[in-house]
Structure 1
């Protein structure tokens, strides 16, 4: 059953709904997305190393003590929330890397066209349309 649940997100990731092109905004906290349009995915790239370090304080050099520290941390009430945040951070970095993003912010249309320098989808679409007119 886990395999089926994994394939559904992959299917949704690589297909577009109702024939519309998929639009993804890659950004950081420095360039917030104020009001994302419906159907637009926002990937907030966070510093995964910093998140990981904040999740666990410095661990003991003793493997047995470090294991106890980790198990205690995993029993904290905020563990699942922080773990999910770290997972999202690494997934967003992987997605950006796979897509070929080299600068922030970036708007990606249909996994093919990238417009850098804005989180505004309408402005990015306008820039893309202008580019397409110049280079048909």
Structure 2
């Protein structure tokens, strides 16, 4: 390949990268920057997720408990038998849901979350009250760029 064509090809690749990289980062949005995103909310404060974040619903455990105790008879022995049967029939999936619900509450508490919705990035930055996770992450990323 002649030297002039080689220099042109090299310059062309540089030009393509100069436009493609910022464009792809803009398309990917905040998710391209945030390594670990955690969203803490409940069923009364819906959020618009962006995918890939961990979602903690603080009222998940009481909702599961309500499922287990729905339409129980007044007789305690019968009610106990029904709940045991429901717990058994739920199997590993139910056990996972219960464990995850309570672990989420513990994690939110240990992070010091004070209101919801809360979007936490890298266990270090938090935005309260923003229901759009992508916007909250973008605000955090802007802050990180100005104050690294």
TM-score (ref. length: structure 1): 0.60
Q: Which runs of 5+ in 2 are unaligned?
A: 1-32
SS of the counterpart of 1:49?
A: helix
Q: Of residues 84, 104, 121 in structure 2, which corresponds to 1:92?
A: 104
The answer to whether residue 85 in structure 2 is matched with residue 72 in structure 1 is: yes
Measure how far apart 1:114 and its partner are. Answer: 0.9
Larger Rg: 2
What is residue 48 of structure 2 aligned with on the other side?
Answer: 34
Measure how far apart 1:42 and its partner are. Answer: 1.8
SS of the counterpart of 1:32?
A: coil
User: In structure 1, what is the Cα distance between the partners aligned to 2:141 and 2:46?
Assistant: 24
Check conservation: 2:48, 2:133, Cα contact below 8 A.
no
Q: Which runs of 5+ in 1 are unaligned?
A: 1-18
Q: For 1:1-136, list aligned pairs within 5 A.
A: 21-37=35-51, 39-56=52-69, 57=72, 60-61=75-76, 68-76=81-89, 79-80=90-91, 81-129=93-141, 131=143
Q: How many residues align?
A: 113
Higher RCO, Cα 8 Å, sep 6+: 2
User: In structure 2, what is the Cα distance between the partners aligned to 1:72 and 1:122?
Assistant: 42
